[in-house]
Structures are given as structure tokens and as C-alpha cells.
């Protein structure tokens, strides 16, 4: 990583400011021999059916029922196909915490158009209250249609199935949870219907991210917009966003975005909920390799809420030239209640971009989490290239979690959780779309084929329509080391040519492969895909062209609802040779569990107690290792560290530099760090900068103490 060093004199000490530049995007590539699967996340799940119940009972899927009745059950949508019903006010389900935490996510179900309330209690004391509602859930699926109400079904199109029956809420707790504490979900509502609790996920939220240097905040007081009030007459007026005030913050967000882009600064979204009545259109034309970062305070702190439920009234739109972007560390949700017969045009992110990253985002309740593609005439087409979604949570959307379409290339999703979506969890559709008669804009895109789309080390779970992963034409596809669970209404992984566009012959033409390897697929596939068809845990289906150039190896299949692997064609040697397909061992292991494999969660300990979580990409050389513990609930390794900044000894005779309101001391990076005097140390000649961190205990009324670490060249 390149760094720029600024040195200035401050009293007797030198002020050393280190500004890391952003690294370039790179897509995920799973190494051969990597037998791990699933995403690595810091939460621990506690299934309700394994909790302690008070005036509650377990509801499980009855697999002796007919297929139709199983598909109409609520339990089939639950994690591990079981959940707990709380029967009345005061009923509860309780768990013993195995790991520390200060934040919780709750997955629940209520009848359609109903509300309720629960408390989260720690050792009997209230730590949070959730007001529950099913208004942003529930769809009724009848073949290719999804309706908002059951009464809207078509008379001649067969049965209709209630889906999207579970939803989620989350919050920070008002106290720390320690191992051994009792965490309870207690019903406080007295309505005449039951509440369903699927699971809780407890985690140690990372600390709030402060406003970076050289940044613009959407709450700055000096933001303005200029608008034309009469032909040729312009007026400038102030705009301002304020968290939690219930007002539309769209103008302030876009004004701050423009200033950050123009001035080559970071756009900062501070703590709080900011509300929007319209789509946010991002325009950023990169100049001099400037990457625009849109930085939140963290997924548990910064919330973007799109409150307008109408078509095309929410989400972030990436305009044609909006490249070199980085969105990170915030939560996005909506008030959307309908897919509008596939016409909602209400994605978390949509459009095209190049050289952009989306990191540590939580995207929920949109039509789709991401839909990347341009829909214009061929001469105006732009394409998504070199895009990465990493360490994000894409949950409870009406349709796809993510779809790279319309010629997207060299793009990836890795280490992300994709849950509860109403179409393919992760997909790539090699479409070449054109408008339909009556569309407001007429076009023929003739889009190129998709190429080099990779989905690696993701956990994709509890989808209620279509596939966990779907590839629909193109070349160089990769699905490796993913964990796919509970995709009960479609395949775990599907490759097909059912949708119009480029087929898979590009793999043979370009001598490329579709690699489907080392995935674990649990309780997926179906005997009725809403059309009466069967879909395997891994499924191949042909309509507009053949499937070709596929490597299928070492995928573990656990208790599928239908076949292990299903295809429209025979896997004879002749057929495989004709299609350039290579199929190896894909074992059935019905005894395996649901959990990701070989995952590690890291914590900082201060005075023997967990103080905070540590990000995966942190510099661990700035810590002392303090032991591992394997969590018996999910098999994750919980690793504990002591920050070296807390262990160094500081006295009044040591030299320091002032940097804003910070006192910065310099030490060597070693098991026993040694103090480095500013006046007699040749930092740039003899040492290399290794990182810095604030001490854990700080007096809020005093300057912050920061320890900067160096290693001898």
C-alpha cells in the first residue's frame, strides 16, 4: 500500500500524519485445495427450537406430508425447518450466551398485516424492545407471478403459496452480554395470534467509525444546492440533514456527495437514521484516479431509510460515468411493500460502475439488493467491470440478492451473507435486453456476454424462490466454496438457458470454464418449483441453447428435497464430451450440519473482558494473542487479543506530537515495544511505519492518546 508522509514541526516534536491510499479492486479467487465454505461473520446464531421455552412450543416441518402441504407450511421457510411459537403475553424463549455480544438480530414471523412487540432481556433485565410488523414481508407466489395479497391470484393458474413469511429486526443492546448470560426473547404483546421466533444472532458490534479527515458529512451546516427558478435565473439555498428528525434528507445527501466528488474528499454518513423520499443518483466522473468513498459509521450506527413505497422511489442509482467508488459501513432499508409485478425499479444499487467496491453493507427490504446492467441502445451502452461486493449482508429482498447482467465482467461477490430473498440469491444473467412495446423508453441493447463473474465464500440461505446461485449464460463463471442452505423452492446452484440471452457456448469459444466446485448445499432443491417441476440441489436446464464448458467437482450435498444433481440431458461420456463438461465426485453427506467451516471471530480484551470486536482486515501485529475458544454452538473459533497500545508504559518525560486533539507517542512493534524519542529517531531512514491505535481507556475530557508503531528496517 502506498503512503504519503507529511512532517511538520509542533513544539519540540514532529507531527507525522500517515494517509493510506485505497487499494485497487481485485476479485475473489478460491485457491485449489481450499476446503472451507461459507462466509466468515462475527455473529453466533441461536436456534429457537434449541432454547428454553416458557409457554411456547416448537413447530417443525412434517416431511410425511404431501409436497403441496409441505410447501404451504411456515416451518419450511425457517432455519433448519423449525421455529418456536410464543403463545401469549409473557411467553419466552431463552438462550445461554456462549460468546460476548452487544448487538442482536431477530428472525420472526407474524400473520400477514399484523404487528407485535417483544423485549430482549439479559439476565432478566430489559436490553432492547422490538416493535414487530409483517408489512414489509409476505408475497403470494403462483407460477411466474408474485402477488401482494392472496386474493389477487389468477383463477386458472393453479395453487398459490404464501412466501416471505419471515422477516428480521436488529439493534444494539443497552448492555454488554458476557458468556454465561441468559438472553431471552419475551413476548410483550397480548394480541390473539401467535408469534414465531426462528433464531437470534448475537454479535460484538465493531466500534463506531469516526468522521475521517478530509471528509464532507451529510450533516454539515454549509451545504447548498443551486436551482433554476426562472429561465436563466439561478438561486442558491442552504440544505442540511439531521439524523432522526423524520425529514427528507435527499437534497443534503446529494449536495454533500457533489462536494466530496468535486473536492476529492470522503463523503461521511454519521450515526443515526437518515430518511429519503426519492432515489439517490450518484454522479462521479473520476479525475486523476480519485476514488470517491461513501463512508458510514458502521452497519449498527448509520441507517439510510427510503420511506417512499412507490415505484422507482428509493435506492441508489449509479449513473453511466460513476466509476471508482467505494461504499462501506452502513445499513439500508425501505418501506417497500410490493414488487409491482416486477416493475418496482427499486434496487439497493442499480446501474453500471467500474473499479468500485461495496464493503460491509447491510441491504434489506428492496426489490433487489443489487442489479447491475444498462438498458439503452447499443451505441450508448456502458458496462459494469471490476466490481466487488465484500463482507456484506443482503437480506429479505423481494427478488434477487444480486444480479450481474447486461455484459458485466470481472466482478465478484465474496464473504457475504445472502438470506431470505425472493429470487436467485446471487446470479449472473448474460442478457441482451430490448424494450417491450409500450415501455416509456424504446431501446435494443445488443449487450455483450458476461464474463468472469465469481461468487466465492458466501453463505446463501433461506431463499424462498428460484436458486441460491444462478448462472444464465456467459463465460468464465465461478461458484466456489459457498454454503447454501434451506433453498427449498429451487436449486441450490442452477445453470440454465431458460432466459433469453447469450448461452454457455462462449466457454468453448474462448476456452474458458464454468467452475462449480467445493460448495456445500444443505436442504435445497424442490419437487415443485411453482410450475410442478423438480429441481435438484444442483440443476441444469436448457431451453435457448445448450449448457457447455462446466467443471463440477467436490460439492457436498446434504439432505436435498429432490435429486442431488438433475439435468435435462444425460451425463453420458458422449454428452459430456460434446458439451466440454467435466464431472467428478460430488458426495452426498446427509449427516453434515448447517454451519460454515473453519471460521474465526476476533475480539479485543481489556482488563480480561471483551471490549470490542476486531475487523478481519485489522493489523493483528498491533495485538498480543490471548487465546482461542471453540464455540460449541456453531463450531467457530473465537480468538482473543490484547491491544499493544494498552500495554505500553507512558511517563511524563516521553516526547509526543500533537495531531489535532491527539497526543501521539512512538514505539517499536515487538513483543516488548520500546519507546522511540521523536528528537533522536530517524523515522523515515531507519524505520517502517506499521500502524497505530488509540488506548482503550480514554478520559473524554482529555486529549486522546495514540500509540504509533514502527519496525526497524
The Cα 470–Cα 107 span in angstroms is 25
Q: Is 330 exposed, middle or buried (0-12, 13-18, 19+ CB in 10 A)?
A: buried
**CB neighbours of residue 156 within 10 Å:** 5
Q: How far apart are CA 664 and CA 518, in angstroms?
A: 47
* pLDDT at res. 156: 85
SS in 3 state form for 628-662?
EEECCCCCCEEEEEEEHHHHCCCCCCCCCEEECCE
| Residues pairing with 139 in the sheet | 163
Per-residue pLDDT tens digits for 327-338? 999 999 999 999
Span 628-683, pLDDT tens digits? 888 777 777 888 999 999 999 999 999 999 988 889 999 999 889 999 999 999 99
pLDDT number for residue 30: 38
Q: Give yes or no for a contact between 39 and 616, defined as CB atoms under 8 angstroms apart.
A: no
- For residue 109, the cross-strand partners are 166, 196
Query: 274, 253 in Cβ contact below 8 A?
Result: yes
Residue with cell 494498552: 646
Nine-digit cell at 546?
445448450
Three-state secondary structure call for residue 505: helix
Q: What is the pLDDT of residues 280-327, one digit of tens each?
A: 999 998 776 789 999 999 999 999 999 999 999 999 999 988 899 999
Alpha-carbon dihedral angle through residues 376, 378, 381, 383, given to the nearest 10 degrees = 120
- Helices (H) then strands (E): counts for the chain: 6, 56
According to the model, what pLDDT value does residue 105 have? 99
Nearest to 419 by CA among 451, 476, 375, 463: 463
Is-contact 575 565, C-beta < 8 A? no
| Burial status of residue 187 (CB atoms within 10 A of its CB: 0-12, 13-18, 19 or more) | buried
Alpha-carbon gap, residue 670 to 681, rounded angstroms? 17
Distance CA 514, CA 478 (A): 6
- The domains found in the chain, sorted by start residue, are 43-203 (2.60.120.260), 376-596 (no CATH), 601-712 (no CATH)
368-395: b (≥16 Cβ within 10 Å) or e: bbbbbbbbbeeeebbbbbbbbbbbbbbb
Low-confidence ranges of the chain (pLDDT < 70): 1-33, 288, 595-598
Q: What span, in angstroms and rounded, lies between the C-alpha atoms of 605 and 358? A: 29
Contact criterion met (CB below 8 Å) for 198 and 109: yes
Residue 687, strand partner residues: 712
Residues forming beta bridges with residue 126, ordered by sequence position = 121
Report the pLDDT value the prediction gives residue 609, as an integer from 0 to 100. 81
Handedness of CA 658, 664, 665, 669 (dihedral sign): negative
CA gap 296, 102 in Å, rounded:
19
Contact yes or no for 415/389 (Cβ under 8 A): no
Question: φ, ψ for residue 618 (rounded to 5)?
Answer: -70, 160
The three grid cell numbers given for residue 473, joined into one nine-digit string: 449464460
Q: How far apart are CA 165 and CA 200, in angstroms?
A: 16
Beta strands in 283-341 (DSSP E): 292-296, 302-306, 316-318, 325-334
Q: Say what percent of the chain tops pLDDT 90.
A: 78
Amino acid at each position: 500500500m502506498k503512503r504519503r508522509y507529511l512532517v511538520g514541526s509542533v513544539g519540540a516534536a514532529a507531527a507525522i500524519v500517515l494517509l493510506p491510499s485505497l487499494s485497487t479492486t481485485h476479485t475473489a479467487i478460491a485457491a485449489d485445495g481450499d476446503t472451507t465454505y461459507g462466509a466468515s461473520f462475527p455473529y453466533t446464531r441461536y436456534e429457537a427450537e434449541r432454547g428454553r421455552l416458557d409457554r411456547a412450543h416448537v413447530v417443525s416441518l412434517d416431511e410425511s406430508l404431501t409436497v403441496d402441504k409441505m410447501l404451504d407450511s411456515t416451518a419450511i421457510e425457517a432455519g433448519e425447518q423449525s421455529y418456536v411459537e410464543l403463545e401469549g403475553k409473557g411467553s419466552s424463549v431463552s438462550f445461554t450466551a456462549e460468546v460476548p455480544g452487544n448487538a442482536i438480530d431477530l428472525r420472526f414471523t407474524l400473520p400477514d398485516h399484523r404487528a407485535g412487540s417483544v423485549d430482549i432481556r439479559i439476565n432478566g433485565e430489559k436490553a432492547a424492545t422490538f416493535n414487530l410488523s409483517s408489512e414489509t414481508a409476505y408475497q403470494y407466489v403462483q407460477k411466474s407471478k408474485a402477488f401482494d395479497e392472496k386474493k389477487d391470484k389468477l383463477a386458472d393458474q393453479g395453487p398459490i403459496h404464501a412466501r416471505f413469511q419471515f422477516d428480521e429486526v436488529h439493534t444494539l443492546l443497552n448492555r454488554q452480554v458476557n458468556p454465561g448470560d441468559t438472553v431471552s426473547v419475551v413476548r410483550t404483546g397480548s394480541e390473539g395470534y401467535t408469534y414465531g421466533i426462528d433464531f437470534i444472532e448475537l454479535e460484538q458490534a465493531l466500534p463506531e467509525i469516526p468522521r475521517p479527515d478530509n471528509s464532507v458529512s451529510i450533516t454539515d451546516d454549509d451545504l447548498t444546492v443551486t436551482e433554476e427558478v426562472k429561465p436563466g435565473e439561478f438561486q442558491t439555498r442552504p440544505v442540511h440533514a439531521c439524523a432522526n428528525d423524520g425529514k427528507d434528507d435527499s437534497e443534503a445527501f446529494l449536495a454533500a456527495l457533489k462536494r466530496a466528488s468535486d473536492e476529492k474528499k470522503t463523503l461521511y454518513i454519521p450515526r443515526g437514521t437518515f430518511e429519503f423520499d426519492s432515489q439517490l443518483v450518484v454522479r462521479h466522473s473520476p479525475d486523476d484516479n480519485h476514488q470517491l468513498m461513501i463512508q458510514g459509521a458502521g452497519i449498527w450506527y448509520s441507517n439510510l431509510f427510503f420511506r417512499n413505497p412507490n415505484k422507482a422511489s428509493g435506492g441508489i442509482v449509479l449513473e453511466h460515468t460513476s466509476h471508482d467508488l467505494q461504499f462501506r459501513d452502513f445499513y439500508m432499508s425501505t418501506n417497500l411493500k410490493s414488487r409491482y409485478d416486477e416493475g418496482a425499479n427499486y434496487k439497493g444499487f442499480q446501474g453500471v460502475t467500474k473499479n468500485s467496491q461495496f464493503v460491509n453493507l447491510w441491504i434489506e427490504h428492496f426489490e433487489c439488493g443489487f442489479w447491475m446492467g444498462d438498458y439503452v441502445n447499443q451505441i450508448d451502452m456502458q458496462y459494469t467491470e471490476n466490481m466487488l461486493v465484500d463482507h456484506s449482508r443482503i437480506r429479505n429482498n423481494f427478488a434477487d440478492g444480486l444480479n450481474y447482467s447486461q455484459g458485466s465482467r470481472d466482478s465478484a461477490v465474496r464473504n457475504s451473507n445472502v438470506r431470505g430473498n425472493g429470487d436467485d440469491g446471487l446470479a449472473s444473467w448474460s442478457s441482451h435486453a430490448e424494450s417491450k412495446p409500450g415501455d416509456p423508453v424504446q431501446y435494443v441493447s445488443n449487450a455483450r456476454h458476461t464474463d468472469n463473474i465469481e461468487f466465492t465464500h458466501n453463505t446463501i440461505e433461506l431463499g424462498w424462490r428460484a436458486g441460491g446461485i444462478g448462472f444464465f449464460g456467459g463465460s468464465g463463471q465461478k461458484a466456489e466454496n459457498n454454503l447454501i442452505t434451506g433453498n427449498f423452492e429451487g436449486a441450490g446452484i442452477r445453470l440454465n438457458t431458460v432466459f433469453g440471452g447469450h448461452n454457455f457456448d462462449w466457454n468453448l469459444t474462448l476456452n474458458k470454464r464454468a467452475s462449480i466446485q467445493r460448495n456445500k448445499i444443505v436442504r435445497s432443491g424442490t419437487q415443485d418449483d411453482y410450475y410442478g417441476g423438480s429441481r435438484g440441489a444442483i440443476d441444469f436446464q436448457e431451453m435457448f441453447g445448450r449448457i457447455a464448458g462446466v467443471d463440477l467437482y467436490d460439492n457436498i450435498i446434504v439432505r436435498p428435497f429432490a435429486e442431488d444433481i438433475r439435468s435435462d440431458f444425460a451425463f453420458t461420456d458422449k454428452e459430456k464430451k460434446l458439451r466440454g463438461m467435466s464431472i467428478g465426485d460430488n458426495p452426498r453427506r446427509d449427516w453434515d450440519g448447517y454451519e460454515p467451516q473453519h471460521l474465526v471471530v476476533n475480539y479485543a480484551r481489556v482488563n480480561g473482558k471483551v471490549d470490542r470486536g476486531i475487523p478481519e482486515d485489522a493489523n493483528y501485529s498491533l495485538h498480543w494473542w490471548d487465546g482461542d475458544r471453540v464455540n460449541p454452538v456453531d463450531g467457530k473459533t473465537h480468538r482473543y487479543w490484547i491491544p499493544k497500545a494498552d500495554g505500553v508504559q507512558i511517563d511524563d518525560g516521553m516526547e509526543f506530537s500533537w495531531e489535532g486533539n491527539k497526543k501521539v507517542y512512538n514505539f517499536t512493534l515487538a513483543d516488548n515495544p520500546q519507546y522511540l524519542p521523536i528528537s533522536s529517531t530517524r523515522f523515515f531512514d531507519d524505520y517502517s511505519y506499521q500502524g497505530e491505535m488509540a488506548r482503550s481507556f480514554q478520559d473524554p475530557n482529555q486529549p486522546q492518546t495514540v500509540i504509533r508503531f514502527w519496525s526497524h528496517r
